[in-house]
């Protein structure tokens, strides 16, 4: 079959590599090779799919349903492989194959064979209060000690890169500078004394939690990082940000959400507020940089409530 990348993937990859590369051009052949190597039967490409990978619904030679995922190197698929192997299905989708050496051969880098979940049923389909509860419970199971000699970025490293991009944007757009300054100050304070050192999902939100057979809800699509739990939880605080902005009581609802999530997961409320501020401002600045002004406006308004 033709492995045509969904428009959402093409658009998102254009944002992360504005100069372009040849990954999309090589993708159809890489997908055919991965399918043949594993003797898979292809059902369909998942649409709209993810923002950083091609997701193909397949069946293994014994008829078992599975998912074949192909991602470019800049999406850090080998870090995802290492994290999924370490979680071993506890709270996250199960990795169905691990290379004997622990590393994929060069010809197969960026290819993951995963347990099939229900790709069209995320926790986001639940009423808001229930969705937050189920998502938080799933996230808690992922917060484990990282493996020895872990191959993951730290929160300090990842946010350091982001902070530099934020400073650059603030110099050219003075209107965002006050929020950027607040976010960067919060980051410096938070990094001074992190309370724990855990393996984190890295990009957790409601749409990253899918219904499964083995467990009711399982996390997918990690961009793993090592650091404190509040950093991971911060992205969940702003889920359904469009609905929050549309509410007359959106600011008060956001503050209650921070309090409720912090208490339910034993996370310091002020640290959660600080990381929520940093991550919202970083996402807002990035959205403006890649030409998504409406998203930038929503995120920066949300950040102003914190």
- From the first residue on, what is the mean pLDDT of each consecutive set of 10 residues in the chain (306 residues)? 81 71 88 95 90 94 96 93 96 85 61 95 94 95 94 96 95 94 98 96 96 96 97 96 92 95 96 98 95 95 95
Taking Cα atoms as reference points, which of 38, 39, 54 lies closest to residue 6? 54
3-state SS class at 49? coil
Task: List Cβ<8 Å contacts ≥24 apart for 125-128.
Answer: 128/240, 128/243
Per the CB < 8 A criterion, the answer to whether 180 and 170 are in contact is yes
Alpha helices in 148-228 (DSSP H): 155-172, 177-192
State the span(s) of the chain assigned CATH 3.30.200: 7-115
CATH number of the 123-304 domain: 3.90.1200.10
Work out the number of other CB atoms within 10 angstroms of the CB of residue 4.
14
pTM: 0.93
The predicted-structure confidence for 80-102, as pLDDT tens digits, reads as follows 999 999 999 999 999 998 755 44
Q: Which CATH architecture has domain 7-115?
A: 2-Layer Sandwich (3.30)
**CA of 206: how far to CAs of 55, 136, 137, 140, in Å?**
18, 9, 11, 14
Nearest Cα to Cα of residue 236 among 202, 211, 212: 202
Rounded-to-integer distance, Cα 37 and Cα 130, Å: 41
Question: Rounded mean pLDDT of the chain?
Answer: 92
The predicted pLDDT at position 108 comes to: 74
Which H or E element spans position 103? none
> So what's the pLDDT on residue 124?
94
Q: Identify the pLDDT of residue 5.
A: 84
Confidence at residue 3, expressed as pLDDT on a 0 to 100 scale: 78
Q: Specify the pLDDT at position 235.
A: 96
- Give ranges for CATH 3.90.1200.10 in the chain: 123-304
């Amino acid at each position: 079959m033709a492995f045509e990348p969904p428009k959402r993937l093409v658009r998102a990859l254009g944002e992360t590599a504005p100069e372009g590369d040849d990954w999309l051009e090589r993708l159809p052949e890489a997908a055919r090779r991965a399918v043949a190597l594993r003797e898979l039967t292809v059902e369909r490409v998942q649409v709209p799919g993810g923002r950083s990978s091609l997701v193909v619904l397949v069946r293994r030679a014994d008829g078992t349903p599975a998912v074949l995922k192909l991602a470019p190197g800049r999406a850090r698929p080998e870090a995802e492989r290492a994290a999924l192997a370490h979680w071993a299905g506890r709270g996250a989708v199960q990795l169905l194959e691990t290379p004997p050496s622990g590393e994929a051969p060069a010809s197969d880098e960026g290819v993951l064979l995963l347990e099939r979940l229900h790709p069209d049923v995320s926790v986001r389909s639940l009423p808001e209060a229930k969705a937050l509860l189920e998502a938080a419970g799933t996230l808690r199971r992922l917060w484990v000690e990282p493996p020895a000699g872990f191959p993951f970025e730290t929160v300090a490293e990842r946010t350091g890169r982001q902070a530099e991009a934020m400073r650059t944007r603030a110099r050219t757009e003075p209107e965002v500078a006050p929020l950027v300054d607040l976010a960067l100050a919060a980051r410096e304070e938070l990094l001074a004394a992190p309370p724990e050192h855990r393996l984190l999902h890295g990009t957790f939100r409601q749409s990253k939690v899918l219904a499964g057979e083995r467990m009711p809800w399982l996390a997918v699509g990690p961009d793993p990082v090592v650091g404190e739990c509040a950093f991971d939880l911060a992205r969940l605080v702003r889920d359904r940000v469009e609905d929050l902005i549309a509410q007359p009581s959106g600011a008060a609802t956001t503050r209650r959400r921070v309090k409720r999530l912090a208490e339910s997961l034993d996370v310091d409320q002020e640290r959660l507020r600080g990381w929520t501020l940093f991550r919202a401002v970083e996402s807002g600045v990035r959205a403006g940089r890649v030409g998504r002004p409406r998203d930038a406006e929503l995120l920066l308004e949300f950040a102003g409530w914190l």
